[in-house]
Structures are given as C-alpha cells and as structure tokens.
Amino acid sequence: MNQRTCLSVILAAGEGTRMKSALPKVLHQIAGLPMVAHVVKAAEAAGASGVALVIGHGADEMRKAAAKFAPEAETFVQEKRLGTAHAVIAARAAISKGYDDVLVMFGDTPLIDADALTVARLRLAEGAAVVVIGFRPPNPTGYGRLIEKGGKLIAIREEKDCSEEERKIGFCNAGMMAVAGAHALKLLDAVDNKNAKGEYYLTDIVEIAGAQGLDVVATEASFESALGINNRAELAQAEAIWQQRRRHEAMLSGVTLIAPETVYFSHDTEIGADTIVEPNVWFGPGVMVASGAKIHAFSHIEGATIASNCDVGPFARLRPGADLRNKAKVGNFCEVKQAVIEEGAKVNHLTYIGDARVGAGANIGAGTITCNYDGYSKFFTDIGEGAFIGSNSSLVAPVTIGNGGYVASGSVITESVPDDALAFGRARQKTIPGKGKELRERFASAAAAKKKAAGADH
C-alpha cells in the first residue's frame, strides 16, 4: 500500500448553527488545535499526500486557518448545500488528478483514528471499490444501519426506512468512506437527487457500486473515533476523550501523572520519560519537556522548553519563549517570558523575568522583576553566570549584570553592573527615634475625628 497515492477530501462547509457561534464549527478547538486540523493530521498519518478542504460558511476564515495547519491543502467552496455527494464533487478538480485512493472525511470528527483510515485503505488495495467506515454506538437509534450480506455491504439504510429486523442491527454508518480513485468520479456523477429533500447523498454510491458489480465492504472504527461534534457539550466530550487518550499515552511512555484527570495537554505537547507532573497542570501549545523534570501543582506552561531535571512551580507560569536549561528552577508564583534560564540558575519565588538571560548558577531573589517594557518597546536584561540578585530588586532594561555580580536587596538598577561588583540602588536608611509612636497617635486621632464626624451626620 505504500506505493498507493491518497487524497483526503474533508467536508467542512457546515454552518454549525447548534454551536451558537460566529466561528465556523470545524475551527472550534480540541487540545488547542481546530477540530478539522485533527482530521487532517489523521489523514496524513494514514498516508494521504493530498488534502482537499470543501468549505462554505466562513470561507475566508477557513482559508486563513488552513494556511497554518494544512498549508499544502487545496480549498473548494460548496456554494449551495445540496447534500454530501454534492459537497464531495465540489473537489472534482482534486479527485480528477488520479489518486489511487480517495478518503472522504468530515471536519467535525476530530477523534478519528488514523488506524481506522489505514484499514479502509488496505481494503481498497485488496480490490474493494468502496469501503464504508462503520461503528457500533451504545444506542443505534437515529443512525443509518449498514446492511451486509455475504461479507459485502449492500446498502446503508436510514432508520426511518429500516424494517423491524434491520433496526436491530447495531453496526451503523460513521459517514466516512474510502473510494478507489479509478471509480470515484463515475460513482459520484451517478448519484441523483430523487428523494424527499432533493439532495445528493454520498451513501447512494454503495448501491450504485453494487449494481455495477463492484465490491463494497464495511470496516469498523471505535465509537469514540467516529464521534461527530454538533454543539458545545459534544465539543467538551471530545476534549475529555482526547485528553484521556493523551494522558494514557504519556503514562505508558514513562511520565508520572499524580492526578491524571487534572492535567491538560495540547495537541503538540512533548514530555520526556521520568518527568513527574503534579495535579492541576496546564500545558498550552508549543511545550517541550525533557526527561527527569518535575512540574509542580497549578503550573501554567505554554510555548516553553524545559530541559532535563528542571524544577517548575508550584503556581509557576511559563509563557512563550521561556527556555529552561538543565537543572534550572522556576519556583512558586514566578513568571518567565521570552527568557533563557541557564543551567542550574534559580528563580525561586514571586518573580517576573521577561526578555532576559539568567546565567548559569545565578540566583534571583524573591520579588525581583526585569522592567522590560516602557509602554512602547521591549528591552533586554542580561544577568551573568553566578550573579546574585537580592530580593525585591528592579532591573530596569536595557541593563547587564556581570558574571558574579551582586545586587543588594531592594535595589533599582538602571546602570550595568561589572563582573563581581556589588551594586546598591536604594535610598540611605534614616531612623528617627520616637517618630513611629508620634505617627501612630496622629493617625489614630485623625481616624477618631473622622468617625465622630460621620456619626454627627446621622
């Protein structure tokens, strides 16, 4: 089958009115990726070299999104919604290129398993002209039944048209098909709209192919893989299934998830073996975690790289561009953005490091901030190896703290500090004996007078 070419035609023209959204339905996200992009990924994993997106509602928005997740895809607009076969034929120009296999898929089935598509393609390679992917829902009510005879699929029967015996069939139509490229256009062109709705149904090609003496068979996907999304509740259900699958994969690959049901991954999260993830951690897009790291509870991480044996959190936020090198530590209530924390450096508590480099072995005290933004532009802070930044310090960028530099606690640093130098950037302390008592008495008297005046008003 490796020699066979494959086109995936993905139907994504529906308005999705039940989503109650201005956003096209298939652009709603699962694990940080539009659901139609999940379908594209599954098709590519099954060997599809071409992608044809059939779009309609929100066409411009769809094209813009597709440029990111499927830059090589061709887009075709279904001007009028006249049924599933009509939608597929909108991609005639792509189908006519002569692919061996044509996968017909739906943009709102984000959980489809690439293995199910691969099995369907294998049946085409064995000689079938049409392969219908079926599934067995817990309750088949409302689904079209797959009618088989002698190992062949002879019809897809809508429930309202089923006999009493046919309604007992639990094997149902998932909607997806694989069609031999040599027969695809001929079968599609033979579909008519002589039905109550006046639409062109893709399912009709099953009986058309059978009448032409072509082999039509059914393969089976899991119920979860065939799940279609029509509203926000089903979107949440699909998200939960996707997360459950990903957590299971992570644990089998050597990652410890202490409370798996509370950890959320994105579609591209990479996490190494022997990493420990505590409860309530959220991984946004673009996160890579090497082996042996420890991610403490309630940390929020996106667009970040975390090297081996790093320690993050609890309650840490790593924003895009955060780059933690081997054995670096970012502790509780710290935020790191667009910054490199080099090997063994520590950013322990209540600190903001943005647009910066923290050198190897440096220590950043509690309450330190890099003042990187003046309201118009961002500026860089460079902290050298082995530097020590005292608590509650403000480093006003652009500024450099040299290797081994020492910044006294409570300093506001506006000029660069040479290697091994000590820098103070604070006013000299002045102590006035008895002044504290005097201030307390003055403040207490003022408060009492204010309270008395308020009572007189009533």
pLDDT tens digits, one per residue of 278-331: 999 999 999 999 999 999 999 999 999 999 999 999 999 999 999 999 999 999
Output the domain CATH number for residue 326.
2.160.10.10
pLDDT of 80 reads: 87
**368 CA to centre of own chain:** 32
Query: Does residue 286 contact residue 303 with C-beta atoms inside 8 Å?
Result: yes
Say if 431 falls within a structural domain.
no
pLDDT of 352 reads: 98
Half-sphere exposure of 58 (CA within 13 A, CB side): 19
Say if 448 falls within a structural domain.
no
In order, the DSSP letters of 384-444 are: -TT-EE-TT-EEESSEEE-TT-EE-TT-EE-S-B-TT-EE--SPPP---TTHHHHHHHHHH
Say if 107 falls within a structural domain.
yes
Does 242 share its domain with 214? Answer: no
pLDDT of 260 reads: 98
Say if 437 falls within a structural domain.
no
Range of the structural domain that residue 169 is part of: 6-220
218 CB neighbour count, 10 Å cutoff = 24
Does 73 share its domain with 113? Answer: yes
Does 266 share its domain with 346? Answer: yes
Output the domain CATH number for residue 187.
3.90.550.10
**183, 198, 220 - which closes a domain:** 220
Say if 178 falls within a structural domain.
yes
Tens of pLDDT, residue by residue over 210-266, are 999 999 999 999 999 999 999 999 999 999 999 999 999 999 999 999 999 999 999
Q: Higher confidence at residue 430 or residue 351?
A: 351
What is the pLDDT confidence band of residue 79, given thresholds at 50, 70 and 90? Answer: confident
Does 171 share its domain with 261? Answer: no
Please report which helix (H) or strand (E) contains residue 346, including its range.
strand 346-347
Domain count, the chain: 2
151 by Cβ neighbours in 10 Å (0-12 / 13-18 / 19+) ranks as exposed
Does 240 share its domain with 378? Answer: yes
pLDDT of 458 reads: 63
d(CA 151, CA 80): 37
Helix, strand, coil percent values for the chain (each to nearest 5): 25, 30, 45
Query: Of 89-93, 141-145, 370-374, which gets the smallest average pLDDT?
Result: 141-145
Tens of pLDDT, residue by residue over 397-448, are 999 999 999 999 999 999 999 999 999 998 888 899 999 899 999 999 999 9
Tens of pLDDT, residue by residue over 93-135, are 999 999 999 999 999 999 999 999 999 999 999 999 999 999 9
> How many angstroms separate the first and last alpha carbons of the chain?
90
Active site residues: 349
408 in helix, strand or coil?
coil
pLDDT of 50 reads: 95
Q: Which residue spans within 263-334 are E strands per DSSP?
A: 270-271, 276-277, 282-283, 288-289, 294-295, 300-301, 305-306, 311-312, 317-318, 323-324, 329-330
Mean pLDDT for all residues in the chain:
95
* Average pLDDT for 139-144: 90
Phi, psi (deg, nearest 5) at residue 395: -105, 110
What is the pLDDT confidence band of residue 1, given thresholds at 50, 70 and 90? Answer: low
Please report which helix (H) or strand (E) contains residue 62, including its range.
helix 59-69
Tens of pLDDT, residue by residue over 261-292, are 999 999 999 999 999 999 999 999 999 999 99
d(CA 394, CA 367): 9
Does 10 share its domain with 87? Answer: yes
pLDDT of 57 reads: 82
Say if 206 falls within a structural domain.
yes
Does 125 share its domain with 238? Answer: no
Does 200 share its domain with 280? Answer: no
82 by Cβ neighbours in 10 Å (0-12 / 13-18 / 19+) ranks as middle
Does 118 share its domain with 146? Answer: yes
**163, 188, 220 - which closes a domain:** 220
Query: Does residue 408 contact residue 424 with C-beta atoms inside 8 Å?
Result: yes
How does DSSP classify residue 203? Answer: G
In order, the DSSP letters of 10-24 are: EEE----GGG--SS-
Say if 1 falls within a structural domain.
no
> In sequence order, what are the residues at sequence separation of 6 or more whose Cβ sits closer than 8 angstroms to the Cβ of residue 400?
381, 382, 383, 384, 416, 417
Does 241 share its domain with 189? Answer: no
pLDDT of 284 reads: 97
pLDDT above 90 coverage of the chain, percent? 88
Say if 85 falls within a structural domain.
yes
What is the pLDDT confidence band of residue 195, given thresholds at 50, 70 and 90? Answer: confident
Does 179 share its domain with 280? Answer: no
d(CA 144, CA 156): 6
Does 289 share its domain with 354? Answer: yes
- What token pair was written down for 380? 């860089």
